[in-house]
Structure 1
Amino acid sequence: MSESAAGEDWQAWVGRKETIRERIAPDRVAALGATLGLEGNYAAGAALPPGWHWIFFNRFVPRHELGTDGHPRRGGFLPPVSLPRRMWAGGRLTYHKPLTIGGEGVRESTILKVEAKSGRAGRLVFVTVSHSVACDGTTCLTEEQDIVYREAAAPGSSAPTATPAPQDATWSEEFHPDTVLLFRYSSLTSNGHRIHYDQAYAQSEENYPDLVVHGPLTATLLQGFAERRAGKPLKSFEFRGVSPLFVSSPFRLEGRGDGRALDLWASGPSGGLAMRAAAEV
């Protein structure tokens, strides 16, 4: 049984399920394409690019149900972990077939496990959630998400030393984030977390130097990067966030591969590793 040092126990949440139904609306898909500056066929009947399903199946909760960080208050589908900081740490995706733009989507979610651990940042709680996403009655992708809750950083504390990114990339692209991009992506994903658009909050409350680039946004960019370089659709993709990226600095999407298996990463302006990923095509 996973139990925190404070005596909290969330095993009753293991096995909890949630189902959300939503049309894969073409106008929303086109809005993400415009946000990322990517041209494509976003009309009904076309295939949804990998990672773009994250703009769907997100509950937009009433204002009075939000916490001070902009996330929905604790409890509900996810366990009411009392640790104040929450982030999406990584995940694993298997693509069976593309979702169809304009189709009727269904996401069925299950909490697989809840584990309490200790790390450099103090107490941590990991929640693993599985998702199965179907479109017009056919399962299109399965996914596991790792969500981590942690203690707040001490005011004025320095960030951990960055892990160096690999230096032997075969492919590399530079990406320039900006505040409008982060704002629009937050809106499209129903993500109210203030670290992505409220600079004063990000700096004074969560001890970041600037607005934080969304982890799922970086993972989406890496998936598109992988497909462009491989010239084939993705079969699987897994990723792990290592350190944050910030709106004030460009970052690089990089990788190498043998035509089927791809090793991918995102690196910050000083060469630090921000996200590590692997894909198969």
Structure 2
Amino acid sequence: MEPLRINGTEIPEAVIRLEAQNHPAGSPDDAIVEARQALAVRELLLQRARTAGLIATPAPLEDGRLETDEEALIRQLLDHEIVVPSPDEASCKRYYENNRRRFRSPDLFEASHILFSAHPDDKPAYAAAAEQADGLIAELQQRPARFAELARQHSDCPSAQQGGNLGQLAKGQTVPEFETFLFNIEEGQICPVPVRTRYGVHVLWLQRKIAGRDLPFEMVRERIAEYLGEAVYRRAASQYIAIVAGEAEVDGVQLNSTDSPLVQ
């Protein structure tokens, strides 16, 4: 493979291979390509920062570390070279109106269950758990008021102490196979079939569904402004990198303006 050089400065192959570990890809060759692109952009920006006479002033990171000198130089260069306006109120409101579905509180589901614990790979135990669940469902269809009592007697979940009550659940808080039934039975209904999951077999009762509601603009304005500001910055950074690359002598890699992790 052709050596990687930026304005005559060669980036060693060992450095490229080390960088490739930070680029999960479909194949080792793809990871090398991504590493070469990222290192090329990094070298371009560092050369630009040094030409501008910037002196690294590392800032603290969220994890308590300080930036490296190179990280600081790149940040300072982009802060100096890229100036983007803050989103105005009209832009934020327009985004809010065009994306109302993104700004809703989640649907909540108040549910209880009775768990017969069994591993799916243990087929006899899993079949026995399903049979027990079937029996309780048949009983509860006739006498639903006994759910809490039966949960305390039979459930293998710690929620048995609360009569099987799981509290309020939102999407993503339970496993997908459980949610498939939870989200599709009627409020007040005991699921007519056992719910099979990786943890065992459940008897499920959906007591109440609380529909999500639209969040007012005032509550999400700051989040929208931050999102729009970041989007504008990424576009501006991509354009800036494209300009810098166009002015440089780059060998051994084909650069796109989005090759830098700085603008992802």
What TM-score comes out, normalization by structure 2 length?
Answer: 0.21
- Larger gyration radius, structure 1 or structure 2: 2
Give the structure with the higher percent helix.
Answer: 2
Q: Larger RCO: Structure 1 or Structure 2 (Cα < 8 Å, ≥ 6 residues apart)? A: 2
Give the structure with the higher percent strand.
Answer: 1
